[in-house]
Structure 1
Amino acid sequence: MSKEIIFFDATKLAELIRTQEVSPVEVVQAHLDRIDAVNPKINAIVTVADGVLKAAKAAEAAVLAGEELGPLHGVPFTVKDSIDTAGVLTQRGSPIFKGRVPDTDATSVARMRKAGGILLAKTNLPEFSYWIESDNLLSGRSNNPWDLERTPGGSSGGESAAIAAGMSPIGLGTDLAISVRGPAAQTGIVSLKATHGRVPMTGIWPRVPRRFWHVGPMARTVRDLVLAFSQLAGPDGLDAFATSTVQFDAGAGRSPHRQLRVGWLVEPGFGPVDPEVAATVKAAAEALKGVGCFVEPVRIPALERDFALDVFNRLHVMEMKPAFAEATAGRSQDELYKMAKTMLALPDTSMEDYIDAEQAAERLRDGYADYFTRYDALLTPVLPLPAHKHGQTEFTINGQTVDATYLQGATVPLNVTGLPGLSMRFGTSKEGLPINVQFVGKWLAESTILHLASLLEGVSPVRNLHPDLR
Structure 2
Amino acid sequence: MSHELFFSDATRLAELIRTREVSPVEVMQAHLDRIEAVDPQVNAIVTVVDDALEAAKAAERAVLKGEPLGVLHGVPFTAKDSIDTAGVLTQRGSPIFKGRQPDTDATSVARMKQAGAILLAKTNLPEFSYWIESDNLLSGRSNNPWDLERTPGGSSGGESAAIAAGMSPIGLGTDLAISVRGPAAQTGITSMKATHGRVPMTGIWPRVPRRFWHVGPMARSVRDIALAFSQLAGPDGRDAFATSTVGFDAGIGRQPYCPLRVGWMTGPGFGPVDPEVVATVRAAAEALKDIGMEVEHVGIPALERDFALDVFNKLHVMEMKSAFAEATAGRREDELYTMAKTMRSLPDTSMKDFIEAEQAAERLRDGYAEYFAQYDALITHVLPIPAHRHGVEQFIIDGQTVDATYLQGATVPLNVTGLPGVSMRFGTSKEGLPINVQIVGAWQAESTILHIASLLESISKVRTLRPAL
TM-score w.r.t. structure 1 length?
Answer: 0.99
Query: CA 1:297–1:351 in structure 2 vs 1: closer, same or farther (change >3 Å)?
Result: same
| Alignment partner of 1:320 is 2:320 | yes
Q: Distance in 1 between the 2:463 and 2:170 partners?
A: 20
Counterpart position of 1:89: 89
The letter of the residue matching 2:454 is S
Q: Secondary structure at the match of 2:32?
A: helix
Shift of 1:462: 1.3
CA contact (8 A) 1:177 1:411 kept: yes
Counterpart position of 2:204: 204
Query: CA 1:280–1:256 in structure 2 vs 1: closer, same or farther (change >3 Å)?
Result: closer
The letter of the residue matching 1:277 is V
- Structure 1 segments unaligned to the other structure (5+ residues): none
- Deviations, residues 261-284 of structure 1 (Å, cap 9, x unaligned): 100001101000000000000000
Shift of 1:461: 2.2
CA contact (8 A) 1:84 1:104 kept: yes
Query: CA 1:324–1:215 in structure 2 vs 1: closer, same or farther (change >3 Å)?
Result: same
Q: Distance in 2 between the 1:463 and 1:122 partners?
A: 26
Q: How do residues 167-206 of structure 1 correspond to structure 2 at under 5 angstroms?
A: 167-206=167-206
Q: How do residues 322-361 of structure 1 correspond to structure 2 at under 5 angstroms?
A: 322-361=322-361
Q: How do residues 55-454 of structure 1 correspond to structure 2 at under 5 angstroms?
A: 55-251=55-251, 254=254, 259-454=259-454
Q: Secondary structure at the match of 2:121?
A: strand
The letter of the residue matching 2:365 is R
Counterpart position of 2:3: 3
Q: Distance in 2 between the 1:50 and 1:196 partners?
A: 34
Query: CA 1:220–1:257 in structure 2 vs 1: closer, same or farther (change >3 Å)?
Result: closer
The letter of the residue matching 1:16 is L
Q: Distance in 2 between the 1:447 and 1:142 partners?
A: 33
- Structure 2 segments unaligned to the other structure (5+ residues): none
Q: Distance in 2 between the 1:417 and 1:349 partners?
A: 20
Q: Distance in 2 between the 1:35 and 1:258 partners?
A: 41
Q: Distance in 2 between the 1:292 and 1:7 partners?
A: 32
Q: Distance in 1 between the 2:270 and 2:60 partners?
A: 49
Q: Distance in 1 between the 2:320 and 2:334 partners?
A: 21
Shift of 1:251: 2.8
Let me know the Cα RMSD of the aligned residues.
1.1
Q: Secondary structure at the match of 2:246?
A: coil
CA contact (8 A) 1:189 1:425 kept: yes
Task: Among all aligned residue pairs of Structure 1 and Structure 2, give the percentage whose two residues are the same amino acid.
Answer: 83
Counterpart position of 2:455: 455
Query: CA 1:253–1:175 in structure 2 vs 1: closer, same or farther (change >3 Å)?
Result: farther
Q: Secondary structure at the match of 2:276?
A: helix
Shift of 1:253: 9.6
Shift of 1:256: 8.9
CA contact (8 A) 2:457 2:463 kept: no
CA contact (8 A) 2:185 2:424 kept: yes
Query: CA 1:318–1:255 in structure 2 vs 1: closer, same or farther (change >3 Å)?
Result: farther
Q: Secondary structure at the match of 2:354?
A: helix
Query: CA 1:2–1:258 in structure 2 vs 1: closer, same or farther (change >3 Å)?
Result: closer
Q: Secondary structure at the match of 1:425?
A: strand
Q: Distance in 1 between the 2:87 and 2:466 partners?
A: 32
Q: Distance in 2 between the 1:258 and 1:28 partners?
A: 39
CA contact (8 A) 2:150 2:387 kept: yes
The letter of the residue matching 2:131 is W
| Alignment partner of 1:27 is 2:35 | no
